[in-house]
Amino acid sequence: MEEENNKEEDINKQLSSLQPSSEKINTEDLSEILRDIKSNWYQLDTLEKKMLLQMFTKKIAIDRVGNQIKPDCLEIKEVQFF
């Protein structure tokens, strides 16, 4: 148990020492990344899709338009990005 705690402390120290990159991504590179996400969306598993949405969206508001439990019974009302 103590060994695991030490490992966790080391990782936390490494994480706290990391600095965000000040390098800006250009529009072309961003477009390429977004196209890759779109083309590979169906190859991602559920957790990977969730993580991508959490990285880029602040809020997603949906409304139920039917009584069944199916994706086509939901309507996306609002999406807010970071």
Binning pLDDT at 50, 70 and 90, where does residue 30 land? Answer: confident
Q: Could you report the per-residue pLDDT of 31-52, keeping only the tens digit for each? A: 888 899 889 999 999 999 999 8
Decide: 34 and 56 in contact? Cβ < 8 Å: no
C-alpha to C-alpha distance for 38 and 81, rounded to whole angstroms:
17
* Segment 2-16, tens digit of pLDDT: 888 899 999 988 888
Q: Which residue has the tokens 């020492």?
A: 17
How many Cα atoms are found within 13 Å in the side-chain-facing hemisphere of 11?
A: 6
Domain-wise residue ranges, the chain: 46-82
